[in-house]
């Protein structure tokens, strides 16, 4: 018995209509994730295994497990790193005290913080130096938020997650305020919060350019391009990946059911009942091999035709730390 139904008539005869697959582009790895993974791989080549990594280098179990097999050891805090061992900081960024502690211990450390996150860090420092109190739009507990808030003295930044948070802010209208944002937020939600902040505090200063990164914006736009045509959108990403969770939300706002999955094995065949057109995308930490894995899994149940919908081209490349160049 061949479950792949190589021709439409066989599929229809078995009660399984062909499945049209709309694959979003861009999807998957962004330049910051590419850079972070390459930093770990090059560090292993340079120093030899093991190389320690503080926190998941990016939010993707497949990537983390792959690097672990090459010699990376993932830890939560620096006190788990032995003296003399090399350590890499994750792409999400770390508070200032972390590299300071690493230096004080004489550790060889490499910073894999995404350059776009580092840009927000520098903006935070400049705003505080200019006497501003920062309202930081982000998700409590996310590593990027912890890292960014750790760039400035305690009390110099207030976290804002929702429109309700904006309404509850107790600052006077003319307070010297500035706002910055996490790089992996919903473009639409963030725009609403920024508008509310500007309405409450007309003098508030903002960044010269949007903090939400190009990859986050592009992937959300790509989902908007396919979701209205789909009954279901699958998003490949981790449950702790902010940008992946936002893609699920975007698809649902566009009228499609959406599911977050980490691997093809998580797909439940019943999800496909009544689905003629299925959308597929991947968060910025998910490799393309997982996209192909999902496609092959779908082919086990339905005859699949693929169509890639391109909404933007990406050519961004970030430099590696100088310790790994040459």
Do 303 and 218 fall into the same domain? yes
Instruction: Kindly give the parts of the chain with pLDDT less than 70.
Output: 1-15, 326
Does residue 256 fall inside a structural domain? Answer: yes
Expressed as residue numbers, the domain containing 291 is 8-29+214-310
163-209 pLDDT, tens per residue?
A: 999 999 999 999 999 999 999 999 999 999 999 999 999 999 999 88
- Tell me what pLDDT residue 247 has: 98
- Tell me what pLDDT residue 214 has: 96
Long-range contact pairs involving 4-11 (C-beta distance under 8 Å, separation at least 24)? 4/299, 4/300, 4/303, 5/302, 5/303, 6/303, 7/303, 8/303, 10/303, 11/302, 11/303
- DSSP codes joined into one string, 62-98: HHHHHHHHHTEEEESSGGGSPTT--EEE-TT---THH
Q: Name the domain boundary from 185, 212, 239.
A: 212
| Contact call for residues 244 and 286 (beta carbons, < 8 A) | yes
- Tell me what pLDDT residue 2 has: 40
Radius of gyration of the chain (CA): 22
- Tell me what pLDDT residue 206 has: 95
Does residue 121 fall inside a structural domain? Answer: yes
Q: How many structural domains is the chain composed of?
A: 3
The residue from 144, 300, 307, 314 that is catalytic is 144
CATH number at residue 95: 3.40.50.11270
- Characterize 292-319 residue by residue with b for buried, 16 or more Cβ atoms within 10 angstroms of its Cβ, and e for exposed: ebbeebbbebbbbeeeeeebeeeeeeee
- Tell me what pLDDT residue 190 has: 97
SS3 per residue for 209-234:
CCCCCHHHHHHHHHHHHHHHHCCEEE
Q: Name the domain boundary from 89, 111, 133.
A: 111
Does residue 3 fall inside a structural domain? Answer: no
- Tell me what pLDDT residue 209 has: 81
pTM of the model: 0.92
- Tell me what pLDDT residue 325 has: 86
In 3-86, beta strands by DSSP E = 19-25, 51-54, 72-75
- Tell me what pLDDT residue 223 has: 98
- Tell me what pLDDT residue 11 has: 42
- Tell me what pLDDT residue 16 has: 74
Whole-Å CA distances, 322 to 115, 271, 272, 297: 14, 48, 49, 42
220-230 pLDDT, tens per residue?
A: 999 999 999 99
Segment holding 159, helix H or strand E:
strand 157-160
Q: Would you call 144 a catalytic residue per the annotation? A: yes
């Amino acid at each position: 018995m061949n479950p792949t139904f190589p021709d439409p008539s066989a599929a229809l005869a078995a009660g399984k209509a062909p499945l049209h697959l709309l694959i979003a582009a861009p999807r998957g790895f962004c330049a910051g994730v590419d850079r972070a993974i390459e930093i770990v791989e090059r560090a292993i080549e340079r120093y030899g295994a093991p190389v320690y990594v503080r926190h998941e280098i990016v939010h993707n179990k497949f990537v983390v497990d792959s690097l672990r097999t090459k010699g990376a050891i993932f830890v939560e805090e620096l006190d788990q790193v032995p003296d003399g061992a090399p350590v890499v900081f994750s792409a999400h960024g770390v508070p200032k005290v972390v590299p300071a502690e690493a230096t004080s211990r004489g550790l060889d450390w490499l910073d894999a913080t995404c350059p776009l996150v580092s840009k927000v860090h520098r903006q935070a420092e400049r705003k505080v130096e200019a006497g501003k109190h920062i309202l930081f739009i982000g998700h409590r507990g996310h590593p990027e938020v912890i890292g960014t808030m750790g760039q400035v003295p305690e009390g110099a930044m207030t976290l804002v997650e929702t429109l309700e948070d904006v309404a509850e802010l107790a600052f006077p209208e003319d307070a010297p305020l500035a706002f910055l944002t996490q790089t992996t937020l919903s473009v639409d939600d963030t725009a609403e919060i920024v508008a509310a902040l500007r309405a409450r505090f007309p003098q508030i200063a903002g960044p010269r350019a949007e903090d939400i990164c190009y990859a986050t914006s592009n992937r959300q736009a790509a989902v908007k391009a396919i979701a209205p045509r789909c009954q279901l959108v699958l998003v490949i990403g981790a449950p702790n990946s902010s940008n992946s969770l936002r893609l699920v939300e975007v698809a649902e706002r566009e009228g499609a059911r959406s599911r977050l999955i980490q691997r093809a094995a998580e797909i439940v065949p019943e999800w496909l009942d009544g689905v003629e057109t299925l959308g597929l995308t991947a968060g910025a930490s998910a490799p393309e091999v997982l996209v192909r894995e999902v496609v092959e899994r779908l082919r086990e149940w339905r005859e699949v035709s693929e169509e890639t919908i391109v909404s933007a081209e990406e050519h961004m490349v970030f430099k590696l730390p100088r310790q790994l160049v040459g």
